[in-house]
Amino acid sequence: MPGPLEGVRVIEFTEIIAGPVGGMLLADFGADVIKIEPPWGDPWRGSPGPSGPNESRGFIAVNRGKRSIRVDLTKPGGQLVMRKLVEDADVVVLNHRPDVPAKLGIDYETLSAVNPRVIYCEVTAYGRKGPNKDLPGYDVIVQALSGMMTSEGHDNDGVPGTVTVSPVSDMATGYSIMMSVSAALYYRERTGKGQKIENSLLQNSLTMQVGALTELDEFPTPRQIWRDEDLPVLKDAGVEFSDIYTAYRGQRYNPEFMAYYKAYQTSDWVISIGCLSNPLRQKMADAMGVHDIRFDVGYVRESPVAIEFAENLILNYTKLFSEKTTDEWLKILTAAGVPCGPMRFIEEMVSDEQALANGMVVETHHTVSGDTRGPGPLASMSESPLKITRGAPAFGEHTDEILQEAGYSSGDIKALKASEDVF
């Protein structure tokens, strides 16, 4: 059975991570994604983890399911090829600084004139308006200026640490591309109209921090009060950032409830607990023999007894967890209905029984790097199943194939290659 986006053609002018992830997800949903690369290729082909000429682990990870064609957009012949492909496309995805598309002839005004029904999805770092609109930006920068690094709490000698397990702003933006393009396709189905979509790393970084960013005028959090009352004073006084950061991290909201939502060291490993409701917290307390006074009638959070109890609760649980093995605690807590799980390393998940049973880890083949394993499709759909049709493309692997589909003869293709309009 075909995927839900079967028959949708996507032209992708993307590089690095955010844009490629969006194209990859569209391919997983069944779209035919054509990645137009410059003569030198997507820079991410040279990212850490080389796996053959012009290939890298990073590139392979975020470009599966696509076809690759090398086109020089600075040449007239390359422009003609690009426009011919856009004529028959449903979607265009790109991520560049706002000043770049017009220079390459791939701006919305130009491409919507070529194909008025096209859905044009653009990704920038900071958005199309404002003082930073033309600045370059990457995930690590957006993590810093959006407050994600300071909120995360990692401390490297007084400097907030990067969230490194995943380029979170990039990844969230990739998902946003897939969702907004799908919605625009539905809108076009009803109205016949294409449109321009603007996505940014900053917007998605802020959206991921919705809880911390949400403000209630009548009920400010300790950190919001600190921002208004203390932070300006500390900055004006020239206090070092490391000291300001320490003060910020001390402003916590309901820290006692974190006792039920964290990882603990056991006698032999580490276990993670997730109790986000009082009934679940009560189950955990009962299973571990802890009397949590916050569940007592008449509990007053601001009382001296309550404050002292909150300060010691995590310490008490830490001691208890250290007295049994992870497996012992998993059995006890699972029997009590407490959500919990053991700590793992991501590298272990390629052979995890649960992940494999649900198609969360799948194998594909790369023409240069061989067999690869990685995350499976995002969801399982009963009537229009998602599937990974191919691994990431080799550099310019499908140039001839794509040009032939566009109506170019063998002679035309040879001429385009001879003039280095395509490769």
State the first-to-last Cα distance of the chain, in angstroms, to the nearest integer.
Answer: 34
Instruction: Identify whether the C-beta of residue 137 lies closer than 8 Å to the C-beta of residue 109.
Output: no
The helix, strand and coil proportions of the chain, stated in percent and rounded to the nearest 5, come to 45, 15, 40
Bridge-based pairing of strands 361-366 and 370-375 is antiparallel
Among the listed residues 28, 90, 170, 292, the single catalytic one is 170
Residue 156, SS3 per DSSP:
strand
**55 contacts 395 by C-beta, under 8 angstroms:** yes
User: Could you tell me how far CA 197 lies from the centroid of its own chain?
Assistant: 18
Residue 415 CA to residue 312 CA, distance in Å, equals 76
Q: What angle do CA 46, 94, 55 make, to 5 degrees?
A: 20
CB 38 within 8 A of CB 14: no
* Contact present, 136 and 125 (Cβ < 8 Å): yes
- The C-alpha atoms of residue 122 and residue 129 are separated, in whole angstroms, by 14
DSSP 3-state of 179: helix
Q: How far is it, in rounded angstroms, from Cα 116 to Cα 109?
A: 10
Tell me, yes or no, if 170 is annotated catalytic: yes
The one-letter code for the residue type at 57 is R
Q: Read off φ and ψ for residue 373, nearest 5 degrees.
A: -125, 145
CB-based contact 146:222 (threshold 8 Å): no
Query: Residue 351 burial (CB < 10 Å; 0-12/13-18/19+)?
Result: exposed
Residues annotated catalytic, as ranges: 170
